[in-house]
Structure 1
């Protein structure tokens, strides 16, 4: 049975606990493992418009992990986060590669820093579940459609269309936030052809927007 788990890029947050960002970055540099080094280019300047504190670390290629730049920037007062990981070469990191590099940095560099400075570091899971991003009601409606619908026809058959519209209406009624790209990926992961998943995610986006417009129009005329 489909578990409706979806890969995602892990997030990492650092609560400084009274330490300054500069102190934290200094201790990180002292704890860098053999596959990591502080990048000395003027990367901090790229963040100056958004955050006063930032640092960059280069991960050298080893094993199956590619070389990459890892950026740490200020999220808010007393909190830093890994804002991005970018490959040294052109292209984009896969979920697995991105998360493996982040995990390597967390395990081999940040954990010793955490112990020395008594900071708190949180890292999110590499997968999210449908039930984590939707209410039980909407999740059941999505599963009812995806499991039973004709995957070669999208929502063109009336019984399937009714199930799909019920899901869209539920998301709108409950004011739930789910990006159309996530809907598309969930459908693909559940065995839908990519072209059908793209069509359905577009229908989803249009349907939610149309219902939002309808409700606002009703409020204006109430």
Structure 2
């Protein structure tokens, strides 16, 4: 399963400020840095207007450098089409990294720049081995036509959810929904198999239903732990 690449910059407040104030010097060729406006004063927008990848705007939120020790590419949006595929998004990110960030890093070695993350999904980058084990047990034994509605399935599902919250390592909504549908990971249901339990991926409908349940349950559990200890 392919996922969106990420790009992080870590350092002191002074190093991050230096990046913000000097990165424009490296915005060359088919790139331009948008002028800051009152509405978007807390963002840097790097627009690609060339032809090698999709024309897009790469955004970095800079409003938290007094509190945080990192910056990161928060989003990439197309300039001429309604949306980008994962492949297109990642291609723009790599173009941004190669054209602008790498030249900056060669001249400014103090700032820690973490190269773009892998575009291949590994669940252990998001949850622990114990949590993945519990998710696998749930997926193998659950009725894939009814999700978590059966009492035994619900118990295994809740066990997985609680484990991720206790670990402090959780999936986001869309990632979990896409993962549950991943036939390469979970297996593909044979056309001649009429059962509802087995080692195969979830349907889109059930995957997003489970993701909804997961997101809500995590929010409730995190709130409970915060206010009740």
Aligned mate of 1:145, from 138, 154, 157: 138
Aligned mate of 1:123, from 109, 115, 129: 115
Q: Structure 1 regions of 5+ residues with no counterpart? A: none
**Correspondence 1:21 to 2:48:** no
**Does structure 1 conserve the Cα–Cα contact (< 8 Å) formed by 2:59 and 2:76?**
yes
Query: Which structure is higher in strand share?
Result: 1
Aligned mate of 1:195, from 205, 209, 219: 205
Q: 1:161 to 1:83 in 2, by over 3 A?
A: closer
Aligned mate of 2:31, from 31, 34, 37: 37
Q: 1:172 to 1:22 in 2, by over 3 A?
A: closer
Given the two structures, how large is their TM-score scaled by the length of structure 2? 0.70
Q: Distance in 2 between matches of 1:71 and 1:206?
A: 28
Give 1:6 deviation, angstroms. 5.7
**Does structure 2 conserve the Cα–Cα contact (< 8 Å) formed by 1:6 and 1:186?**
no
Q: Which residue of 2 aligns with 1:70?
A: 58
Q: Structure 2 regions of 5+ residues with no counterpart? A: 187-200
Q: CA RMSD in A?
A: 3.4
Q: Distance in 2 between matches of 1:116 and 1:215?
A: 45
Between the two proteins, the alignment pairs up a number of residues equal to 204
**Does structure 2 conserve the Cα–Cα contact (< 8 Å) formed by 1:8 and 1:128?**
no
Q: 1:12 to 1:44 in 2, by over 3 A?
A: farther
Give 1:130 deviation, angstroms. 1.6
Once the two structures are superposed, residues 124-154 of structure 1 have per-residue CA deviations (whole angstroms, 9 ceiling, x without a partner) of 4134422222222211101111234332332
**Correspondence 1:170 to 2:169:** no
Q: Distance in 1 between matches of 2:161 and 2:16?
A: 43
Once the two structures are superposed, residues 146-198 of structure 1 have per-residue CA deviations (whole angstroms, 9 ceiling, x without a partner) of 23433233224454333223212333444544333332222122421111112
Q: 1:215 to 1:72 in 2, by over 3 A?
A: closer
**Does structure 1 conserve the Cα–Cα contact (< 8 Å) formed by 2:6 and 2:72?**
no
Q: Distance in 1 between matches of 2:219 and 2:104?
A: 46
Q: Which residue of 2 aligns with 1:82?
A: 73
Q: Which residue of 2 aligns with 1:57?
A: 47
**Does structure 2 conserve the Cα–Cα contact (< 8 Å) formed by 1:44 and 1:55?**
no
Q: Distance in 2 between matches of 1:69 and 1:55?
A: 6
Give 1:114 deviation, angstroms. 1.9
Q: Which residue of 2 aligns with 1:10?
A: 6
Aligned mate of 1:91, from 67, 72, 82: 82
Given the two structures, how large is their TM-score scaled by the length of structure 1? 0.71
Q: 1:73 to 1:14 in 2, by over 3 A?
A: farther
**Does structure 1 conserve the Cα–Cα contact (< 8 Å) formed by 2:2 and 2:86?**
no
